[in-house]
Homo-oligomer: A and B are copies of this chain.
Amino acid sequence: MSFKKILYGAAYYYEYLPYDRLDKDIEMMLEANINVVRIGESTWSTYEPEDGVFDFSTLDKVLDAMNQAGISVIVGTPTYAIPSWLSKKYPEVMVQVDGHRKPYGARQIFDISSPAFLRYAERIIRKMVSHVARHPAVIGYQVDNETKYYGTSSKNVQQGFVQFIKKEFNNDLDKFNKEFGLDYWSNRINSWEDFPSMDGTINGSLQAEFDRYRRELVNQYLKWQVELVAEYRLSDQFITHNFDFEWRGYSFGIQPEVDHFKASESLDYAGVDVYHPSRKHLTGAEISFAGDEMRSLKHDNYLVLETQAQAFKQQVPYPGQLRQLAFSHIASGANMVEYWHWHSIHNSAETFWKGILSHDFQPNPVYDEVVETGKQFKQLSQHIVNLKVTADVAFLVSNQSLSAIQNFPFSDKRNYNDAFRLLYDEFYKLNVRTDIVDEHHIQLDNYRLIVVPALYSVSDIFLSQLNDYVEAGGHVIYTFKSGFTDEHVKVRTDVQPGIISKSIGAHYELFVDPDGCRLVPESQVINPTSDLLLKDWMELLIPDTAEVIASYDDPNWQGYAAITKNTFGKGATIYIGCLPSKEVIHQIIQAFVEEVGIRRTSEDFPIIVKQAINEFGKQITFYFNYSGVVQTTHNSVTGNELIRGSKVSGPLSLEPWGVAIIET
Contact = CB atoms under 8 A, between A and B. Distances in A.
Given A190-B45, A347-B180, A103 B196 contact: yes
Interface string A29-64: 000000000000011111001100000000000000
Interface stretch (A162-170, A200-208, A236-244): A200-208
A654 B346 CA distance: 55
A361 B493 contact: yes
A190 B84 CA distance: 9
A361 B509 CA distance: 10
Given A348-B204, A494-B360, A496-B359, A512 B186 contact: no
A537 to B, nearest CB: 7
Interface string A264-302: 000000000000000110000000000000000000000
Interface in A325-368: 344-352, 358-362, 364-366
A510 B364 contact: yes
B515 A195 contact: no
A200 B106 contact: yes
Contacts of A366: 510
A347 B489 contact: yes
B408 A352 contact: yes
A16 B184 contact: yes
A78 interface: yes
A197 interface: yes
Given A83-B186, A185-B106, A202-B106, A491 B347 contact: yes
Indicate how many identical chains form the complex: 3
Nearest to A343: B493
B84 A188 contact: yes
Interface stretch (A225-233, A311-319, A392-400, A597-605): A311-319
A595 interface: no
Given A360-B496, A490-B346, A187 B316 contact: no
A594 interface: no
A441 B54 CA distance: 47
A364 B83 CA distance: 61
Nearest to A496: B360
Interface residues of A, number: 99
A190 B49 contact: yes
A492 interface: yes
A88 interface: yes
A183 B87 contact: no
A158 to B, nearest CB: 11
Nearest to A281: B515
A359 B491 contact: yes
Interface in A471-500: 489-496
A187 B178 CA distance: 48
A107 interface: yes
Contacts of A106: 185, 200, 202
Contact of A45 (B188, B279, B492, B538): B188
Given A196-B104, A347-B491, A408-B352, A84 B187 contact: yes
Contacts of A43: 183, 186
A319 B359 contact: no
A184 B83 CA distance: 10
B347 A205 contact: yes
A347 B78 contact: no
Contact of A195 (B84, B189, B495): B84
B85 A42 contact: no
A494 B361 CA distance: 9
A349 B46 contact: no
Interface string A65-91: 000000000000010011111011000
Interface of A: 13, 15-16, 18-19, 42-46, 49-50, 78, 81-85, 87-88, 98-99, 102-107, 109, 178, 180-191, 193-197, 199-205, 279-280, 310, 312-314, 316, 318-319, 344-352, 358-362, 364-366, 408, 489-496, 509-513, 515, 537-538, 556, 628
